[in-house]
Amino acid sequence: MDHGLEGKRALVTGAGSGIGLAIAEALALEGAIVALHGRNLERTEMVRQSIKSSGGNAISVAADLLDPTEIKAMCTDTLTRLGGVDIVVNNAGLADFAPVQDMNEEMWDRIMDTNVKAPYLISRHLLPAMLEAGEGGVFLYNASTCGKAADANWTAYNSSKHALLQFMKCLAMEVGEQNIRVNAICPGWAESKMARAALRKTAEVSGKDIEETYQNTMRGNMLGTLIGPESLADMAVYLSGRHGRYITGQAINVCGGVNYY
């Protein structure tokens, strides 16, 4: 299936591993030129070399998403080296949990700054170039099914994803007439470094075996199966390409069928 992504210029944040890596590889396979964001240039350079060896085209860019100055510099670097941008995938995120009475401001701010402020800043810095080009474009946000749910002890994380969904919808309304589509992908528990870390902490807090926690959580959906990063990458490619041309302002679950979202 031709998604019409040949020659498109894309930025993917958190492209060094997990879902971001899968999305970056999938976009490159479809012919897009991908800017691979990460804090660790050594890691993203390894990804770039892997994409290159598979016949794809990518560059590496770096920024600490807790630093607005670095975010702006990374966006400028991306625009300069790619000559513009057509697809922006705000994938990078941070997860942590604690009861409200035990949560300190540092945890709250770190999660909000990474999951909400950074995507806002990246979108704000890159949107003018997309508008000036006048050829439309795509913004995607990794919002998680937690953006549609309430979970005890996950107040900061769920709140950040709720906020990201509302930001996505408002932006979609602002730029729709310029043929810029804005959507969110909402994964359930998917195999990733961040998910593994969260599960380890969950097991420690609950006193349960890590493998039991893994099975109950990661496979706790209607299909009874683990959601692989490639499933999220497939959705990202669909939404970025011509087959998703009439989809905007939507938060699409890729969760294996979790029945309370």
The model's pLDDT over 236-245, given as tens digits with 9 standing for 90+, comes to: 999 999 999 9
The H-assigned helical ranges of 39-143 are 41-53, 68-82, 105-112, 118-133
Domain 9-189+228-253 superfamily per CATH: NAD(P)-binding Rossmann-like Domain (3.40.50.720)
Cβ proximity of 95 and 106 under 8 Å: no
Are the C-beta atoms of 75 and 60 separated by less than 8 Å? no
d(CA 146, CA 173): 23
* pLDDT for residue 261: 56
Residue 127, pLDDT above cutoff 90 = yes
pLDDT at 253: 94
Grouping H, G, I as helix, E, B as strand and the rest as coil, residue 261 is: coil
Tokens 């309370």 locate to 260
157 has catalytic annotation: yes
Q: CB burial class (10 A; 0-12, 13-18, 19+) of residue 84?
A: middle
pLDDT class of 158 with cuts at 50, 70, 90:
very high
Q: Are strands 87-90 and 57-62 parallel, antiparallel or unpaired?
A: unpaired
Q: pTM of the predicted model, to two decimals?
A: 0.92
Q: Where are the strands (E) in the chain, listed by range?
A: 9-12, 33-38, 57-62, 87-90, 137-142, 180-187, 251-254
- Backbone dihedral region of 84: left (phi > 0), alpha (psi from -120 to 50 degrees) or beta? left
Average pLDDT, the chain: 92
Nearby residues of 88 by Cβ (< 8 Å), 6 or more positions away: 10, 11, 122, 123, 126, 137, 138, 139, 140
Q: What is the pLDDT of residue 260?
A: 61
Q: Among all chains, which residue has been given the structure tokens 């939507």? A: 250
> Which residue(s) pair with 253 in the sheet?
186
For the chain, where do the domains classified as CATH 3.40.50.720 start and end? 9-189+228-253
What sign has the CA pseudo-torsion 240, 241, 243, 245?
positive
Q: pLDDT-derived band of residue 194, with 50, 70 and 90 as boundaries?
A: confident
Return the percent helix, strand and coil in the chain, to nearest 5.
55, 15, 30
CA 224 to chain centre: 24
CB 171 within 8 A of CB 250: no
Q: Which of 65-69, 99-103, 106-110, 254-258 has the lowest mean pLDDT?
A: 254-258
| Top-confidence residue, 209 or 133 | 133
Q: What is the pLDDT of residue 26?
A: 98
Rounded percentage of the chain residues whose pLDDT exceeds 70: 97
Among 157, 214, 238, 260, the one annotated catalytic = 157
